[in-house]
Structure 1
Amino acid sequence: MGSAGFGRLKRACAAFWVASGLWPGWVVAQQEPHFRVEVSLVRILATVRDESGAVVGDLNREDFQVYDSGILQEIALFERSSELPVSVVLLIDVSASVAVKLREGQAVVREFLEVLLEGGHPRDAVALYTFCHDVVAETGFTRDYRRLARLASRLRTGAGTSLYDAVWFASRALEDRPGRHLILLVTDGADTTSVRTFQEALQAAHKADAVVYGILLVPVSSEAGRHLAGEHALISLATSTGGRVFKAFDLPGLRVALGGVLEEMRAQYLLGYYPRGVPEQPGGFHPIRVEVRRSGLQVLARSGYYRR
């Protein structure tokens, strides 16, 4: 039935109820239907550094500009990291070479977990996953840093490196967690045994609003003997989600790297907007650009999102 026919039917029904004197309350209250399209809030975690590399933590909403598919958006949500809990999936590569280095650095890892969980938001939590050929959830999200440190010190080594699978599973675990989502990946090499691809891992991280940080335990300082393509893939994965990769050549370097991750976590901004004026493309990828009005500042933020 066309819209004209539908309108005649409604008027005929109304005339019947008026003539009969039996006009019901639900007809009186009835209005023309209004159709509303649900638009999901897009969330972006951003870190800002100045020209010297120092983290900038004193910016306000007005200092940021967000572009979706090249179109300027209105920022509807602005919060600093100190106001939001963070859920972290700690992904540890358990190939033999990494396990040896982490056993040497047990105290550093414990210190990192203690500072993270004791010095942050009361609802911060960490889950520990390990990966070689298989990905294993050693424990779900917890605030017990002592238990996490014990588990991290008793890792069983294995063959293979399913890095992309690990990021995919970690992203799925983060999807429904409150607050900020972060994946901290500790490895020394490239993916060799994943079922999922680089693009599938990146897409899963985008869908989970997860920022990926990598700590690359570099086996040698010289580029000879290193898997540079794997390192570049890890860097691309991290920067595309708004994170970065820290290289650690030794135990002091591991401490500096973990400290760098903590510093950025403490200074993140959460920006949110409802997409306006951009192509619908359900399920399609939307590129994002985040800028700041102050000169000389660099923004780290994810490269885009997938429209739900």
Structure 2
Amino acid sequence: MRPFCVPALLATALCSIALCSPAQLWAQEAPSPDAPPVSTAPDTSNLDQQPPTTTLKVNVNLVSLFFTARDKRGALIPNLTQNECQVFEDKQLQKVKNFSPETDLPLTLGIMLDTSGSQQNVLQMEQQTGDSFVKRILRDKDQAFLISFDVQVSLLQDFTSNPRLIAKAMDQAEINTAGGNGSAGIPGIGQGPMPTQGAPKGTLLYDAVYQVSNDKLRSETGRKALIILTDGEDEGSREKLADAVEAAQKANAIIYVLLIADRGFYSGGGMINLGGFTGDSAMRKMAEDTGGRMIDVGNNGKKMEAAFAQIEEELRTQYLASYTPTNTRLDGSYRKVDVFCKHNNENLKIQARKGYYAIAPDDSGQ
């Protein structure tokens, strides 16, 4: 596996801007035909007396919520209107500025594959089903990347619109236990190995979500989703569950978890006895707090195929509601958000992220 890193595109862009002259960076109005000739040479006679130049930055704190709506039978509702929905922030009604179905908005999709020892018996099933899903859902204007996590976090395939590249990388993924000890270090994003405490590492699930949210998704715009194929068990992460959830919320990323657990592994019938399976509650919280879902498929291939089909349908039946909060302070605080919709006199079940952090748009990547 190759280390998890991100190309320094931002540095390249900044260098390109720095090499441009002021005349290249600013558009000039064409002079009037009757006007006298005007010198284009800069006036430097009183440069020392000029006050320092300042840049005016205007932040528009626009909150965007992607959500799906279902009726009491669980069927997705594809034809909602703005008048049928309300958005509340900290229990205060907000004025929705934009409301639209987003079936074709470009999608940034991250797929995270658990390659720790507990997935030994289900990895092949994940690869086969995941290949088919990626080939169905990824369109020319979409982009996806593939991450594996075990005793380290690795980028198997960077951003691409080619589903065959994702499928190829997924097929090449392998179980990695590092002999049960990951003390060799966790690859950081663009910064080499991260220091460890010398303790054994098992499955760096929370670290992986935290890193991917901050370093792969936060700077992206539009619809963003993470699909995590895992048993939900974390062992050895430096970040906590709350840190991973917060990072995903700040990146405005929806998390779907396919809970894939070979339960015999945890009950003593597998390689080791871990005292039972406990990953479902943490994964449910991670998914629901970001507007996604956890789907328990066990080690059943048919259930996994059905779960991928459900995710595909939801990602193609989303709505986008945007509003400027009545609370205009960008103080970094967490704001609770609720969406309520009613269709044909029926209250709908809404699947949306539960809140956001009020940080400046330049810093949020939202």
Question: TM (normalized to structure 2)?
Answer: 0.69
Indicate yes or no: 2:137 matched with 1:112. no
Q: Which residue identity is paired with 1:198?
A: L
Aligned to 2:8: none
Aligned to 2:45: none
Counterpart pick for 1:220 among 241, 263, 271: 263
Stretches of structure 2 that go unaligned for 5 or more consecutive residues are 1-55, 178-201, 268-274, 360-366
Aligned to 1:154: 172
Indicate yes or no: 2:274 matched with 1:253. no
C-alpha distance in 2 between matches for 1:286 and 1:203: 12
Q: Which residue identity is paired with 2:63?
A: V
Q: Counterparts of 1:113-262 in structure 2 under 5 Å?
A: 113-118=134-139, 122-159=140-177, 160-172=202-214, 173-220=216-263, 226-228=276-278, 230-249=279-298, 250-262=300-312
C-alpha distance in 2 between matches for 1:49 and 1:301: 12
Question: What is the CA-CA distance between 1:36 and the residue it aligns to?
Answer: 9.8
Give 3-state SS (helix, strand or coil) of 2:239's partner. Answer: coil
Aligned to 1:28: none
Question: What is the CA-CA distance between 1:150 and the residue it aligns to?
Answer: 1.3
Give 3-state SS (helix, strand or coil) of 2:347's partner. Answer: coil
For residues 75 and 99 of structure 1, do their structure 2 counterparts lie closer, same or farther at Cα, with a shift above 3 Å needed?
farther
C-alpha distance in 2 between matches for 1:37 and 1:154: 47
Q: Deviations over 1:141-186 (max 9, x none)?
A: 1111111111111112123111111111221211122320101010
Q: Which residue identity is paired with 1:199?
A: A
- Verify the 8 A CA contact 2:156 2:169 in the aligned structure 1: yes
Question: What is the CA-CA distance between 1:99 and the residue it aligns to?
Answer: 4.7
Give 3-state SS (helix, strand or coil) of 1:76's partner. Answer: strand
Q: Return the structure number with greater helix share.
A: 1
- Verify the 8 A CA contact 1:93 1:99 in the aligned structure 2: no
Instruction: Give aligned pairs, total.
Output: 269
Stretches of structure 1 that go unaligned for 5 or more consecutive residues are 1-34
The alignment's C-alpha RMSD in Å is 2.2
Q: Which residue identity is paired with 1:288?
A: V
The sequence identity of aligned pairs, in percent, is: 30
For residues 153 and 71 of structure 1, do their structure 2 counterparts lie closer, same or farther at Cα, with a shift above 3 Å needed?
same
C-alpha distance in 1 between matches for 2:308 and 2:126: 11
C-alpha distance in 2 between matches for 1:83 and 1:77: 16
Question: What is the CA-CA distance between 1:107 and the residue it aligns to?
Answer: 3.1
Aligned to 1:298: 349
